Every structure is written in C-alpha cells, then in structure tokens.
A and B are shown apart, each in its own frame.
Chain A
C-alpha cells in the first residue's frame, strides 16, 4: 500500500463482541423456546395416554434459584467496581461469582441425584414419566450454558489478575456480566416454568 496516512475508522456504536453476545443470547433463547414449547405441545398428548406425571422438583433446584439471584448481585457489584476502577473489589466479587457458579452446578448435580433416587431418569424407568425426560433435557442444556458462563468468568478473572480489567477495558467484563445475568434469569424462568407447567 502506498498510503502512509494514519487511518482512524469511526468506532461502531456498540462493541462488536457485545452486539454478537446479544444475538447469541437471542439464538439461545430460541433453543429454550423450542424445548419449552415441545413440553407444552407434548403434555396434553401424553396426558391423554397417561404417560405424563407431575412431580415435585428437587429442593436443590430451588437452591439453584437462590444461587442464581445472589450471583447476579455479586457479578453486578464486580461490574460496577470495575467501572469505578476499584480493582480489588472487582477481583473479589468476580471470584465470588465464579464460586457461586460452581456451587450452582453442584446443586444441579444434587438435584439430578434426587431425581434418580425417585426413579425419574432421563430414559424413562416407568412409561408414565415422559415429563421427567423433559426436566432432564431442559436442565441439561441449561447447565451447558452455565458452564459457558463459568468459562467466561474464569477468563475475566484471569484478566482481572493481570490488571487488564478496568474503566477503559470493560468489554470482556461486560460480556461476562450480561451473559451471567442471562443464564441466571433463564434458570429462574425455567424453574418457574417447570414448577407451574407440570
């Protein structure tokens, strides 16, 4: 190239990473919409054949809801701290959120163990338990999303320890923040759905 001129392109209005994240969350929402609508469409059909039983969700899933709420607060604090250049608070609360994320996975695991103890397995032990298969699918796909969030939090934390997250470098922090709220809200929605729709 001959041009020696310094090129300065205008910044896009929204950071591309963040924009893509919103679209990815939209696509994810559609995936859950498909699982949830399958549940809704299937239920009357299966009820007519008496292959659908309503059962109490494991108590650990409710604990997961609590963790989702608390970790949404902690990630918010971490995010605000980073924006105000309070790097230590940021690190502490990021680590706290990461810990809560892992705790979330543990409660999910314990919830699944409770289901197994009741013979409510993914592959139906009894023909009338199609509803249990849905609970497994929906919680399983959600946990995969949470694992994605944990990876994001881990990346953000390692960046925070390298002092690369601060007022002027917020992209990864805000991506992790938005996504974590997304999986948290998603779980609250799914829990309420599974609680009431059965």
Chain B
C-alpha cells in the first residue's frame, strides 16, 4: 500500500513532468475512478500538490490518535468507577428485595430461637416454634398463625396447663415419627397426658402441610 495513493503521479501530471502516454494513462484511470478524478480536479484548482501541507496533516492525524488514547484511558477509569458503583448499588437493592420477599412469602425465620405466635384472642393453646439447634428446619407452608388456629380449633383437651416439646420428621409434607421430648403439665393425670399426646400426634399428622425435613414445636397450654 502506498503511503499516499497517486500523490506523486498527480503532482507529476499537474507540473507537466509526465510524457503524453503517462498523462493519457492517468486521465484514463481518472475517468474510471471518480475518487481520483475529483482529487485531480481539486489539486488542479489548488495549482499543484503541497507535500509539506500533507505531511502536516499526517502529523495532525497522529496527534489525534494519541490524544484519543489518553482520553480513552481517562474515560475508561471514570467509566469503570461509575459502572462498579452502579452495579454494587443494583446488587444491594436486589439483595434487599430478595431477602424481604423471601421472609414475607415463605416466612423463614431470621432468628434461631423461639418465635412466639400468639393468637389475637385469648386462646388456650399457644404454639411456639422452636429451634433448639438440633437440625430442626421445618415450618408450616401456610404459616404459623394458620397452624395455631388449626390447633385451637381442633383440640378437645381442656383444663390443662403447661408445655409440651415435640419433634418430628417430615415426609411428603406431613410429620412422621412424632416424639415427645419434654412434657411439663400441671396436675395432669397419666390418662390426660396420654390423651393429649395422642391428640397432638393425630392433629399434626392430619394437619397442615410442612416444608423442611425436621420439625420441633413447643405447645403451651394456658
């Protein structure tokens, strides 16, 4: 590739340093190449080629390229900063929204201990979700309030005070292998205790669906 297409030929043509056949060749080429034709006409108007002028123009281009490189670096850094800031902001908001949604929709407890869910009315039964650190992760799909209401509505045992701690495994959404871990009832006879435990097991087995693998629950009787 020539550094300047045709420049020398244009110069020679315009300054009369070409013989007739060379002139004819260039003229013919120009007839086929409008770019060359126009340029030739331009230089003719200017009355010749100014090589110095063109080399200055080349230097100007070189400076332009250098300036762009510097500019681009500056832009790049401020751009980079902006982008990092923006991405961090967006991620933060997304994370917050995600956490909020997760909590409100699925009611995953954020604390690991004893969240009391009292019923708005004075009820005789209060369920306390318990995490005693032995792997209990289950929660009722419809929420603790719903479970509480279910227990209040279906429990037939009365006149009992105290609390029962039970744990169980979840299989297909329903509690299985329900075991009583702690039983502290005031003035209850053995038969009442047995009836209560049987009722608890029945209610849990037939009750609302659970999510998770292992559940632990404290039931307080007032």
Does A associate with B in a complex? no
